[in-house]
Amino acid sequence: MRTVVVHAPLDLRVETLAPAPGPDAGQVKVALAAGGICGSDLHYYQHGGFGTIRLKEPMILGHEVAGTVVEVGADVTRVKVGDHVAVNPSHPCGHCRYCIEGHSNQCLDVRFYGSAMRFPHVQGAFRDEIVITQEQAFPVKADVPLAEAAFAEPFSVALHAATRAGSVLGKKVLVTGCGPIGCLTIMAARQGGASEIVVTDVSAPALATATKVGADIALNVAEKAEALASYRPHKGYFDMTFECSGNPRALLGALDVTRPLGAIVLVGLGGEATLPMNSVVTKELKVCGAFRTGVEFGWAVDLISNRRVDMRPLLTASYPVEQAVEAFQFAADKSRSMKVQINFAGAE
Amino acid sequence: MRTVVVHAPLDLRVETLAPAPGPDAGQVKVALAAGGICGSDLHYYQHGGFGTIRLKEPMILGHEVAGTVVEVGADVTRVKVGDHVAVNPSHPCGHCRYCIEGHSNQCLDVRFYGSAMRFPHVQGAFRDEIVITQEQAFPVKADVPLAEAAFAEPFSVALHAATRAGSVLGKKVLVTGCGPIGCLTIMAARQGGASEIVVTDVSAPALATATKVGADIALNVAEKAEALASYRPHKGYFDMTFECSGNPRALLGALDVTRPLGAIVLVGLGGEATLPMNSVVTKELKVCGAFRTGVEFGWAVDLISNRRVDMRPLLTASYPVEQAVEAFQFAADKSRSMKVQINFAGAE
Amino acid sequence: MRTVVVHAPLDLRVETLAPAPGPDAGQVKVALAAGGICGSDLHYYQHGGFGTIRLKEPMILGHEVAGTVVEVGADVTRVKVGDHVAVNPSHPCGHCRYCIEGHSNQCLDVRFYGSAMRFPHVQGAFRDEIVITQEQAFPVKADVPLAEAAFAEPFSVALHAATRAGSVLGKKVLVTGCGPIGCLTIMAARQGGASEIVVTDVSAPALATATKVGADIALNVAEKAEALASYRPHKGYFDMTFECSGNPRALLGALDVTRPLGAIVLVGLGGEATLPMNSVVTKELKVCGAFRTGVEFGWAVDLISNRRVDMRPLLTASYPVEQAVEAFQFAADKSRSMKVQINFAGAE
Amino acid sequence: MRTVVVHAPLDLRVETLAPAPGPDAGQVKVALAAGGICGSDLHYYQHGGFGTIRLKEPMILGHEVAGTVVEVGADVTRVKVGDHVAVNPSHPCGHCRYCIEGHSNQCLDVRFYGSAMRFPHVQGAFRDEIVITQEQAFPVKADVPLAEAAFAEPFSVALHAATRAGSVLGKKVLVTGCGPIGCLTIMAARQGGASEIVVTDVSAPALATATKVGADIALNVAEKAEALASYRPHKGYFDMTFECSGNPRALLGALDVTRPLGAIVLVGLGGEATLPMNSVVTKELKVCGAFRTGVEFGWAVDLISNRRVDMRPLLTASYPVEQAVEAFQFAADKSRSMKVQINFAGAE
């Protein structure tokens, strides 16, 4: 079984490991077809981690994957051999207060594929085969390309963000930052019935993709810093802003153009921002975070499986697993790539 | 008619003006009994304004007032002569998008007593008599001291804050800052059924008052900077934090002790705070502002009128209107005063 | 000016009246192009009213209309001569508790076109010209057929219904009843991102239209009473049910197939239903009503104006105003008609 | 170990059984002190069950219990020997969709003490000793009588009901039915800051108790059927109604006096009610169910443990376990009893 293992910053290797045992009762074995490279995968590859989370041992990367069920253990009722599935990379503990309250994305003891937050690290899903619990397997229709099904996880993150500030239906929406999560958030807002979606970025290709996936107006704030100025009168225009750039200036600008009682949902991880407390108080803004996903994983799979969304404009390139290093190098070049995937043995 | 007029920073005068004409149809004349000095009154007195809002002409101060109806115009059904009333100091326009959507506290064209936001300024309510619309008059029971009724406005601000993050019932609550709004927020949280209320301040007398009005645990963060450290494990302890100090460090500290998916309600006006975006994102915190009040004005009056709350611990001192300057000087000394009131001709 | 006036049950006349004076300041005159016949119009025509609401004098019918601005009064900034507009038929009082709280659809003193709820009745909008306030005029893009713009009002009712139970995004939805409001609710749920929409009706043509406008599965409960049986296991399948038939049996059936903690939104007016209290209690269902519309009028106009929805499958027939009686007769034949419109002088 | 076992309708026996083995790891043994008789206990005693749920084998009754920890298994950190605890009688499965979504009270496979819903039945907690998981043990302060702690479960049901329609703070509340759950709901609404609480019942003693625990106005609808008539004008007075009688007429009456957009929470189990669909639609009422409890169990324990509520007015009588039959007979006489408890070996 080939795997994509990070050993240290810029030391990424394709290694052959023994396949995992199993499946045991309640488990299924999936031959992976496609895996998308996420921002966190890139951080491990480029920097060996982020913040206080650091690689302490080699770790298989990857958590945005889909494939075909090749073997099922006893008592498996949810899927059968041959089914195409998107794989939910998250194993919440089921026992902590957040799990009990229905917020498993805040689990105090979660196991998440390809994460160095725990030690030993939780090995990831960039591999030819993986054994998962049946609850992690979400079937997609046979005619849906598995490359699209592999978008289920990041799209579910965007859908989760879209729910954080109440219903999007009829709302005027600003999305700052048009990388993969920004574009998926645009798609989520469009699905949710936003009446108007304005987006900003500093990259012309990113803005072009954003327009393809549903933005009504795409503004290049590198070319025109004051691009949002016309949305400031009457205390602001947008009902909801989704901050997907991680850039503190984007948050600061959003405070001026989001209307009183509106929401600014922080999706992108970022550093320290300056927050003028008076703006938040007098406009009664709601600045809230969105992290990972929950029941929205199933929503994402349904929307992809029923072809209500089209992920193809986001897929810049696919590489066979042997070329994983080239895939990561290309993915790291944000000026050229949106989402880059790796193909595995189970590819259609 | 005696009035309390600010002419310039530290230039406060008790002046006799001609009484207002009226009441016209739908209006009532109120002989004021008591008026509380608010932080914004103090800002006009000490600094001539705040932020971009500056005195441009002499202005009567005051907006936390109660008195007795002495005359009613035609078509008045809501109150009668002799009724004790708390006066709602806000006149929303009724036509802007925020009024139409039920958020008159965000009115784009509000008239608010004793505010220099508009020009000519809206004259305030520190005067022997005032003519108001009947909708502004909220009756209180005859046996409720008007000094307590004059707390209706600031208490309603606290009640409004208490609604901003959903129901308080059963929640663990932190209040940072125990000035008048902080203490009233403690009372609002207690009314709303908080299961535990922890408070912080740097002033021992303020903390003592906070304990009198409902705080379970009062922590002096001047004496012990790490007083909240024990609330950090497991990603935080409090379901809701109400930031009433306007101090950016209080907000920063709240991010560590507010649990994932919890809320931090900003009530106190403050300057620029540093906001670590990652904390908000990964804990999915909700940082939201609370400003002025709405339907909660009626709630405040009902709770005071039915004696479900006791405002007396908050009233540090009362001065006759002739001694308004002394009243403001005392109110400005935060180490000694909580709420200071001025008495008028209509005093019981 | 030609008008469509109901005098008594089955006594509908096209009458020429003097045009309305005006427009005064803040008002605009609209030459109407298209007007849809609503269920309430039909009730006045067929029965002279409904429930306790009865015709007491001749009344112009109609409230689902769109046209072209032909004259503007002083101080009008919202629209200009030549603009195409959808007309909001509702004038809330602006002063009652519901208006103040942002729920003008519950106004205690509303004036609504073509309604006999007040006396003198509020005359309706089936006429060549009408003078409205500028706030009632909602511009649509010039290339949007006014026949589609005339769907703004009923579509906004459906959008309002879609907001009554929280966000529709990702939800499994049942719509019972596929008349005009049922079909518009299907479109609203689709806009809001429902992951699956199942619908029921007893009419094959209605079900066929429902499928055209977004239903995934259309079930004929006249042919198969137990058509929904497969959705009952595990305490129910649907997150939200929209009851648009007014049929008590549909509500009863919905209790079995709506999942615990799910919502049943009653949109269709109906008679007395039997409600097994234990079902509501043990499944913690939420049965809630939706009535008329509010801010959703603007949403409907935006969605129609931006062509995000296509109203054409719902428009069964259009008649010139001279043939208004034929139009009503055809509209009354539910087996053949979905939405029937009348064309006026301003027709494109 | 003495237990209270129902064998058939009216066949209740105090039987001595061998004590349960254990505690195993993670479990604790509790010597029970007090157990309240619930309506469902009475149904088993009087009728052998309710609805489709029927006794098929002898079953120990009881689920409202508190006692003292007498032994702890390995790995127990939550309580220690000697602690006073309220016992949560519910074991949700932790795996079904409702558990995962945080709604364990809707668990598809719950085990609940003293319930014949499953077969073999889940034996109840009216016994001298019980072995529970540590998660079921909720410590109360040593100075809180265990008889009051035994109210945790029914009070948590009332608190859960109080959360079903949003925040109670400042709201005008109607409670129909003043049995134990009605009275506890009054206490929950009072805790939550209701500004006014009006209650109805047909029993003078029940109304007297209701007044003791927080009702502002108590109306006897047996003496005056139209007692609520004055609350009908302007489409209704109450923001929230809690229907705790299970009487369909109470629900029908509530529709008239609950204001538009208000909520009617059904707490009491009842039969078939007549629901005029038009009332629900045009007033946009929200009729929703409340069933059992969730995180509110901890809230109830905290409020009781901190003496913020006083359960004593609700406790009509206590019987030693040997007189369990007399206790049930007295509890069945609703004209004389509110809550009746049984005392066990662990009684203080």
What percent of chain A clears pLDDT 70, i.e. is strictly above it? Answer: 100
- Hey, of D109, D239, D251, D277, which one would you mutate to test binding to chain C, going by the most C CBs within 10 A of its CB? D277
Nearest to A277 among B103, B270, B277 (CB): B270
Residues of chain A with Cβ-Cβ distance to D101 below 8 Å are: 102, 295
Contact A167 C170 (CB under 8 A): no
**Interchain CB distance below 8 Å, A291 and B284:** yes
C-alpha–C-alpha distance, residues C300 and C214, integer Å: 17
List the single residue in A162, A188, A302 with the smallest CB-CB distance to C195.
A302
Q: What is the pLDDT of residue D348?
A: 61
CB contact under 8 A, C100 and B95: no
Distance from CA of C95 to the nearest CA of B (A): 8
C103 touches chain B (CB under 8 A): yes
Average pLDDT, chain A: 96
Report yes or no: A341 and A330 within 8 Å, Cβ to Cβ.
Answer: no
**Residue of D248, D279, D289 lying closest to C283 (CB–CB):** D289
**Biggest CA-to-CA distance, chain A:** 63
Shortest CA distance from D233: residue in chain C? C108
DSSP calls for D137-181: EEEE-TTS-HHHHTTHHHHHHHHHHHHBTB--TT-EEEEE--SHH
How near does any CA of chain B get to the CA of C252, in Å? Answer: 32
pLDDT at B337 over 70: yes
Q: Which of D94, D95, D102 sits opposite A103 (nearest CB)?
A: D102
Q: What is the pLDDT of residue B277?
A: 94
What pLDDT does C90 receive? 96
| Tens-place pLDDT, residues A117-141 | 999 999 999 999 999 999 999 999 9
Distance CA A177, CA A200 (A): 6
What residues of chain D, 294 to 313, have a C-beta less than 8 Å from chain B? 295-296, 298-299, 302-303, 306
Give the mean pLDDT of C150-165. 97
User: Which of C138, C140, C164, C169 to probe by mutation at the A interface, max A CB count within 10 Å?
Assistant: C169
Mean pLDDT, to the nearest integer, of C269-292? Answer: 94
Low-confidence stretches of chain D (pLDDT < 50) are none
Check if A199 contacts C (Cβ < 8 Å): no
Q: Does C223 touch chain D (CB under 8 A)?
A: no
Minimum-distance CB partner of D266 among C268, C280, C291:
C280
Using alpha carbons, select from B179, B329, B288 the residue that is nearest to residue B244. B179
| Residue in D75, D98, D101, D296 to test binding to A, most A beta-carbons within 10 Å | D101
Is B164 close to A269, i.e. CB distance below 8 A? no
**Distances in whole angstroms, Cα of residue B103 to Cα of each of B64, C100, C298:** 20, 8, 18
Supply the pLDDT for residue C52. Answer: 86
- Angstroms from C102 CA to nearest CA on chain B: 4
Mutation target vs C (from D104, D287, D293, D296; most C CBs, 10 A cutoff): D287
Q: How many CB atoms lie within 10 A of CB A335?
A: 8
Q: Is A261 on the interface with C (CB under 8 A)?
A: no
Look at residue B348 in the predicted model and tell me its pLDDT.
60
The answer, for A260 touching chain D at a CB cutoff of 8 Å, is no
Per-residue pLDDT band at A348 (split at 50, 70, 90): low
Q: Is the pLDDT of residue B227 over 80?
A: yes
Whole-number pLDDT of residue A271 = 86
Say if B166 is an interface residue toward chain C (CB within 8 Å): no
Q: Is the pLDDT of residue A262 over 90?
A: yes
The three-class DSSP label of residue B207 is helix
Q: List residues bridging with A319 in a β-sheet.
A: A342
Report yes or no: A267 at the B interface, CB cutoff 8 Å. yes
Question: Which residue of D159, D167, D196 is in closest CB contact with B166?
Answer: D167
Are D75 and D25 contacting, i.e. CB atoms less than 8 angstroms apart? Answer: yes
Average pLDDT over residues A276-282: 95
Residue A92's closest chain D neighbor by CA?
A: D100
- When pLDDT is averaged across residues A319-348 and rounded to a whole number, the result is 93
Q: Is A261's Cβ below 8 Å from some Cβ in D? A: no
B25-53 pLDDT per residue, tens: 999 999 999 999 999 999 999 999 988 89
What are the tens digits of pLDDT across the range A16-53?
Answer: 999 888 899 999 999 999 999 999 999 999 999 988 89
> Is the pLDDT confidence value at B64 over 80?
yes
Residue C19 pLDDT: 87
CB of C136 within 8 Å of a chain B CB? The answer is: no
Does C282 contact chain A (CB < 8 Å)?
no
- Which of B178-182, C93-97, D4-8 has the weakest average pLDDT? C93-97
Average pLDDT over residues C181-207: 97
Could you read off the pLDDT of C211-268 as tens digits, one per residue? 999 999 999 999 998 999 999 999 999 999 999 999 999 999 999 999 999 999 999 8
> Is A80 at the interface with chain D, CB within 8 A?
no
Contact state of A191 with C168 under an 8 Å Cβ cutoff: no
Report pLDDT digits (tens) over B154-166: 999 999 999 999 9
The three-state DSSP-derived secondary structure of chain A is: CEEEEEEECCEEEEEECCCCCCCCCCEEEEEEEEEECCHHHHHHHHHCEECCEECCCCEECCCEEEEEEEEECCCCCCCCCCCEEEECCEECCCCCHHHHCCCHHHCCCCEECCECCCCCCECCCCECEEEEEHHHEEEECCCCCHHHHCCHHHHHHHHHHHHCCCCCCCCEEEEECCCHHHHHHHHHHHHCCCCEEEEEECCHHHHHHHHHCCCCEEEECCCCCCCCHHHCCCCCCEEEEEECCCCHHHHHHHHHHEEEEEEEEECCCCCEEEEEHHHHHHCCCEEEECCCCCCHHHHHHHHHHCCCCCCHHHEEEEEEHHHHHHHHHHHHCCCCCCEEEEECCCCC
Q: What is the pLDDT of residue C348?
A: 61
Minimum-distance CB partner of C260 among D98, D270, D277: D98
Query: What's the confidence (pLDDT) of residue A346?
Result: 77
pLDDT bucket at C22, cuts 50 / 70 / 90: confident
Nearest chain C Cα distance for residue A254, angstroms: 23
Output the CA–CA distances (angstroms, integers) from residue A148 to A61, A64, A348, in the order listed.
19, 11, 12
